[in-house]
Amino acid sequence: MGFTDKTIECADCGVNFTFTADEQEFFASKGYTNEPKRCPECRRARKSQRTGGGGGFGFKAERQMFPVTCARCGKETEVPFEPRGDKPVYCRDCYNSVRQDA
């Protein structure tokens, strides 16, 4: 099977850009089934926009942490997942030793 260059209209600026055979092959090798919707210029612009703007909330590098109390030693700590009521949550130290005990 072969790929041929394809012309796509950018969803952002409306310019026609070429989705080259090489790029299509690359996309396919990554398992992507969607074609790019934006020209390279707009894609680059969107990437660099991500750190600025966004209504003054442009800071979300950290994963959300949930405050919990360790079920073993009672220490206050944070975990990167939402604690469920049905499972005890441990601080990092206790988690490690609980895992080793099991």
Q: Which residues bind Zn ion (CB under 5 A)?
A: 10, 12-13, 39, 42, 70, 72-73, 75, 91, 94
Strand partners, 16: 9
In whole angstroms, the minimum distance from the beta carbon of 93 to Zn ion comes to 6
In whole angstroms, the minimum distance from the beta carbon of 11 to Zn ion comes to 8
In whole angstroms, the minimum distance from the beta carbon of 12 to Zn ion comes to 4
Cβ proximity to Zn ion: between 76 and 82 the closer is 76
| Distance from C-alpha of 59 to C-alpha of 47, rounded to nearest angstrom | 14
The 10 Å Cβ neighbour count of residue 91 is 19
Strand partners, 87: none
* Amino acid in position 19: F
Cβ proximity to Zn ion: between 24 and 70 the closer is 70
Instruction: Evaluate whether 24 touches 3 at the Cβ level (below 8 Å).
Output: yes
Cβ proximity to Zn ion: between 16 and 29 the closer is 16
In whole angstroms, the minimum distance from the beta carbon of 16 to Zn ion comes to 10
Cβ proximity to Zn ion: between 60 and 84 the closer is 84
Task: Tell me how far apart the terminal alpha carbons of the chain are, to the nearest angstrom.
Answer: 52
